[in-house]
Each structure stands twice: as structure tokens, then as C-alpha cells.
Amino acid sequence: MKLLKTSAQKQPDLSIVIPAYCEERRIGRTLDELAVFLQRDGFFKLKDVEVLVVAADAPDKTRAIVRAKQGLFKHFQLLQPGPCVGKGRNVQYGMLRASGMIAVFMDADLATPLHHLQTFYEACTDGNDVVIGTRNLLTYRSNVMRGVFASVGNLLYRVASGLWIEDTQCGFKLFNERARKLCFSKLTIFGWGFDLEVLAIAQANGLRLKPFRIDDYKHMPFSTHTEGIMQITARTVRDFGQIMINRLSGVYLDDREG
């Protein structure tokens, strides 16, 4: 496992974690846009921000493109966790190595516009432990059946986790330091269902969670999601079962409590 780091630093105000597996077609543009945003935004240009890109082993040029962009940021890390295990493992790897007082993970396609960062950040500094983006699942999906399936899946998740959330899968979630360390150290699902489990861990530990609807969420081309409905169904049932068992057996509880 290798690490590329550009500079030593005090604890940043914000860490931005971007999982980037086979993202050569858009990671360069994403980092360009993020750099411009951080330099020009009236709120974040006054903050100390680190950017961490997590790139598991892949047959494309993602890592080379990321290395070429590192000079855009004052604090930057390219994290290389090794063979691809799943998006959840990549996000976990980045979030547990982030050093910010607050950390957010976001998808490499910037489907959630960057202007939402300030709203989420301020919600966290106002006392919320976890702040998440949600979408209208029946309207944002390009495939109607996937939208219906996602809505049913979220209903089942509410039963498994005990948490009523409109949408668990939006790739834009922000954590304070305690929540970040607790939720990602307890993670056991490293594929698609990691979002579900992270929120279940937060719920099990009584963390304060704040959802925000992302009305301008954008459906982006070149999705790296290739599984069919039957594969998704089998995987979802398995993940729901694992979350339910872990929740009931106390696996998610903070070891330092009690």
C-alpha cells in the first residue's frame, strides 16, 4: 500500500475524500473544478482543506492523472489501497486516514454540486455528527425500474436499521471527527451496501444525523456501476441481513462506551 503526500500540516478544517476506481475519463476535470471552487469560494478559501483521492489498483490511467493534478492543492494525498475490493473499502481507507476536524466523501463525478459543501459543513459545526445528501429516487434515475427498486430497497433498509432515511445511497456524506472514526472503524460491508451500514452504525450509537435533499443532483454519464437487477437484489438481501444481525448483536456499538 503506497501513499503520496505533498506537505506536512496542522489539523485541517475539512478533509475531502474522493474514491476513484477506473475514473480516468472524469477525475482530471473533477479535480480541476474542485481546485477552482476551493480557491474562489468565499467560505472555503478561508479554510484549511485537504484532498484525498483513493485509487485502488485499476487497468486505466486514473492514478497518473491524479498525480498530474496534485499541485492544484495545498494539502493533497493520493492513497493506493491495493487491489480493488469495493467502493466501501476505498471510502473507508480514505476516511480513516483523513485528518480534518470534519470530513466528507463525495463521488468522483461531482453529481452533487460543490456549493452544497458549505451547507453541510455548517450543519456539522452546528452540532450534527453526520450530514448526508438525499435524492428523490423516483425522479433522478434515468432507469425507472432502478428508481423503483432503490425506493423499495430503502424501505427495507428502514426495517433492518431502524433508521428512517429517504435515500441512503447518495455519494455525499459528511462526518465530524468522532463519527468518522467510529462509523468507518466498525464497517464490515465493503461493497455497495457500505452506505447503508455506515448510517446503521451512526444510528446504533445515537449519533445526530441530518439529511439534506439535493434537488440539483445530476445524473452523470460513464457510470462505473454495471450490475444487473438480479445481482443487485441478491447483494441487497445479503447486506440487509448482515446489517440486521450486526445491529441486534451489538457489533456496531462504540467499544469505549459503557
Task: Tell me the CB-side half-sphere exposure of residue 86, using CA atoms within 13 A.
Answer: 13
Question: Which string of b and e fits 217-253 if b means at least 16 CB within 10 Å?
Answer: beeeeeeeeeeeeeebeeebeebbebbbebbeeeebb
For the chain, the distance separating the N- and C-terminal CA atoms, rounded to the nearest angstrom, is 35
Match 492544484 to its residue by C-alpha cell.
Answer: 72
Q: Which residue has the cell 450486526?
A: 246
Dist CA 157 CA 239 (whole Å)? 9
Grade residue 6 by pLDDT with cuts at 50, 70 and 90.
very low
Q: Which CATH number fits domain 2-249: 3.90.550.10, 3.50.50.60, 3.20.20.70, 1.10.260.40?
A: 3.90.550.10
Q: Taking 90 as the threshold, does the pLDDT of residue 110 lie above it?
A: yes
Question: Which tens digit of pLDDT belongs to each residue from 186-204?
Answer: 999 998 889 999 999 999 9
Residue 237's pLDDT is what?
A: 79
Q: Mean of the per-residue pLDDT values for the chain?
A: 87
CB-CB neighbours of 149 under 10 Å: 17
Please name which of 155, 164, 182 lies closest in space to residue 240, comparing C-alpha atoms. Answer: 155
Report whether pLDDT(231) > 80.
no
Kindly list the strands in the beta sheet with 75-80, ordered across the sheet, starting from the edge strand earlier in the chain: 2-5, 75-80, 49-54, 14-19, 102-106, 172-176, 130-134, 209-213
Cα separation, 185 vs 161, whole angstroms: 18
Number of other residues whose CB lies within 10 A of the CB of residue 181: 16
Mean pLDDT of 151-156: 59
Element (H, E) at 143: none
pLDDT digits over 216-229, tens only? 998 776 555 555 56
* Whole-prediction pTM: 0.87
